[in-house]
């Protein structure tokens, strides 16, 4: 009788996960930005430096229908399966759960038996999602202790509220909405959690109608986009606290909690300030009330990145009156040892590494420039070729030695801020464990006719697992 063993890509702690083998493949969401009937796809990229195909697209799985706008996909199962209060260690990290933000379809891809050639095995239609949850525009997928958690931007009519729903990690049935008591929460975006403290965290962007045509100037200047962080009791599925950053802080997007489950803090990125077009990173943390570290949650701005003055002639119409390029923080990522935070500035083209060993006092360590609304900084592989788009979706390897990022945000927003049309690419950086990073001159992957977005690394990465042990 064969012994049942946990998936070898599952790790009880982030320290153990950092000893995992180096990734050989990356899976990348590829979006067709035109209305020519061509579908989106999941691309498979060779990340093995010893391979003859290193840095190249080796496979592409086309979706069955056009118009999905594939977004933040994830695994069906991960290291959270080892958590003691909801154990199911004999699951496999096998299936990619891929949502379409425009179509509200969810695609299931099987990465076995050949991870280089995943197969589409199931599609969940928008009607099924709406019937089971009354949600639409599925956005972010996380494998959790009880199943697959998926955030959704809003309701089937394009309005609110947005929220979270649950899927079965084996059958992929949509079970239903997660919230039992949502409190004041209306706008949704990302979700994450502190498993050891029974806390889920959610951020806020806008309903489908608020974001599908690009940034709405009237809504933006009126402070109507998301500016709150919401804290939830994870097992009771109820809202417990709202942290309002102020209407000046518009679009509270990516969340990255500390990986060490004993640490009760995390980082969130804010796209833009109405005060001066700066962008910012904030730390949420649990306040100590003398009761075993319990108490309320608080949030503090810890990084501010200013806008950069620019010639209006070089700016898209939306920004010409401001005579400046906003940084536009659109993604962040945290290394598994909770030491380095990576910040994508999609507007200016800067990609920054911070030392966040002290989470309330980050220190800027290094940065690189690539693309940008005005700068169009080149890659060392093609130093004479200006690049557009900018650092966007970022993913770090489990050992912290490599970071990958792509340059497309969301088709209508791409067109608004890069009206010449984004020519998409994916790059890799090598990271010094003591701090510092450099672009790999051998890794510049350009996508002809498609735009690259979310990246997932084969076997796991720094933002797809959560851990129950330190």
Q: Is residue 4 part of a domain?
A: no
CA distance 271 to 254: 10
Residues comprising the chain, all counted: 470
Q: What is the pLDDT of residues 229-259, one digit of tens each?
A: 999 999 999 999 999 999 999 999 999 999 9
For residue 246, is it within any domain? yes
Cis bond upstream, residue 375 (ω within 30): no
Domain boundaries, position 437 = 14-457
| CA-based nearest residue to 175, from 144, 201, 204, 200 | 144
Judge whether 227 lies within some domain: yes
Local confidence band at 293 (pLDDT 50, 70, 90 cut-offs): very low
DSSP H stretches of helix in 32-181: 126-133
The pLDDT value recorded for residue 294 is: 55
User: Domain with 128 in it: what CATH number?
Assistant: 2.130.10.10
3-state secondary structure 283-310: EEEECCCCCCCCCCEEEEEEEEECCEEC
- What is the pLDDT confidence band of residue 35, given thresholds at 50, 70 and 90? confident
Please check whether residue 470 is in contact with residue 262, taking contact to mean a CB–CB distance below 8 angstroms.
yes
CA–CA gap between residue 230 and residue 383 (Å, rounded): 44
Asked whether residue 4 carries a pLDDT value surpassing 80, the answer given is no
Question: Which strands, in side-by-side order, build the sheet including 425-431?
Answer: 394-396, 402-406, 425-431, 437-446
Show Cβ contacts of residue 178 under 8 Å, excluding neighbours closer than 6 positions: 149, 163, 164, 165, 166, 237
Segment 140-188, tens digit of pLDDT: 999 988 899 999 999 999 999 999 999 999 999 999 999 999 999 999 9
Is the CB of residue 426 less than 8 Å from the CB of residue 344?
no
pLDDT interval class at 106 (50, 70, 90): very high
- Taking 50 as the threshold, does the pLDDT of residue 227 lie above it? yes
Tell me what pLDDT residue 18 has: 97
What's the predicted TM-score (pTM) here?
A: 0.97
In a domain, 3, yes or no: no
pLDDT at 295: 74
With a cut of 80, say whether residue 111 has pLDDT above it. yes
* pLDDT band (50, 70, 90) for residue 289: low
Answer yes or no: is 6 within a domain. Answer: no
Contact assessment for residue 191 and residue 140, using Cβ atoms and an 8 Å cutoff? yes
Residue 300 placed within a domain = yes
Alpha helix segments (H runs only) across 13-125: 14-17
Residue 462 lies in a domain: no
Q: Mind listing the pLDDT tens digit for each residue in 389-442?
A: 999 999 999 999 999 999 999 999 999 999 999 999 999 999 999 999 999 999
2 in a structural domain: no
Mean pLDDT of 180-208: 97
pLDDT category at 64 given cuts 50, 70, 90 is very high
What is the pLDDT, as a whole number, of residue 55? 97
CB neighbours of residue 90 within 10 Å: 12
Residue 215: name the closest of 70, 318, 325 by CA: 318
Q: What is the pLDDT of residue 90?
A: 81
Domain count within the chain: 1
Using alpha carbons only, how large is the chain's radius of gyration in Å?
A: 20
């Amino acid at each position: 009788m064969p012994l049942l063993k946990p998936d070898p890509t599952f790790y009880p702690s982030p320290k153990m996960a950092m000893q995992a083998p180096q990734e050989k493949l990356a899976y990348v969401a590829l979006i067709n930005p035109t209305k020519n009937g061509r579908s989106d796809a999941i691309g498979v990229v060779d990340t093995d430096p010893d391979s003859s195909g290193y840095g190249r697209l080796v496979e592409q799985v086309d979706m069955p229908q056009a118009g999905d706008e594939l977004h933040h996909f994830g695994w069906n199962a991960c290291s959270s399966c080892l958590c003691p209060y909801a154990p199911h260690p004999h699951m496999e990290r096998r299936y990619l759960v891929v949502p379409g933000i425009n179509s509200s379809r969810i695609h299931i891809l099987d990465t076995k038996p050949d991870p280089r050639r995943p197969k589409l095995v199931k599609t969940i239609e928008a009607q099924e999602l709406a019937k089971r949850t009354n949600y639409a525009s599925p956005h972010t997928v996380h494998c959790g202790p009880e199943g697959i958690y998926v955030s959704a931007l809003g309701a089937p009519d394009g309005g609110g509220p947005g929220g979270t729903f649950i899927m079965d990690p084996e059958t992929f049935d949509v079970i239903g909405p997660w919230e039992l008591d949502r409190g004041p929460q209306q706008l949704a975006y990302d979700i994450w959690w502190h498993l050891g403290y029974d806390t889920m965290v959610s951020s806020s962007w806008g309903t489908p109608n608020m974001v599908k045509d690009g940034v709405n100037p009237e809504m933006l200047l009126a402070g109507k986009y998301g500016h709150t962080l919401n804290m939830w009791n994870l097992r009771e599925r109820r809202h417990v606290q709202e942290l309002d950053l102020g209407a000046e802080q518009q679009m509270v997007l990516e969340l990255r909690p500390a990986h060490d489950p004993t640490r009760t803090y995390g980082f969130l990125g804010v796209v833009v300030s109405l005060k001066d077009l700066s962008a910012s990173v904030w730390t949420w943390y649990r306040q100590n009330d003398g009761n075993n570290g319990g108490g309320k949650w608080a949030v503090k701005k810890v990084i501010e990145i200013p806008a950069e003055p620019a010639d209006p002639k070089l700016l898209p119409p939306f920004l010409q009156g401001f005579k400046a390029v906003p940084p536009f923080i659109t993604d962040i990522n945290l290394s598994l040892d909770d030491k380095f935070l990576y910040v994508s500035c999609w507007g200016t083209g800067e990609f920054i590494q911070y030392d966040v060993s002290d989470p309330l006092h980050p220190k800027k360590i290094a940065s690189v420039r690539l693309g940008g609304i005005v700068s169009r900084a080149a890659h060392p592989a093609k130093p004479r070729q200006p690049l557009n788009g900018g650092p966007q979706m970022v993913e770090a390897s489990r050992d912290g030695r490599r970071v990958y990022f792509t340059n497309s945000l969301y088709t209508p927003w791409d067109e608004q801020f890069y009206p010449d049309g984004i020519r998409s690419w994916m790059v890799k950086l090598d990271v010094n464990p003591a701090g510092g990073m450099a672009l790999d001159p051998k890794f510049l992957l350009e996508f002809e006719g498609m735009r690259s977005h979310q990246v997932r690394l084969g076997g796991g990465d720094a933002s797809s697992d959560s851990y129950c042990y330190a």
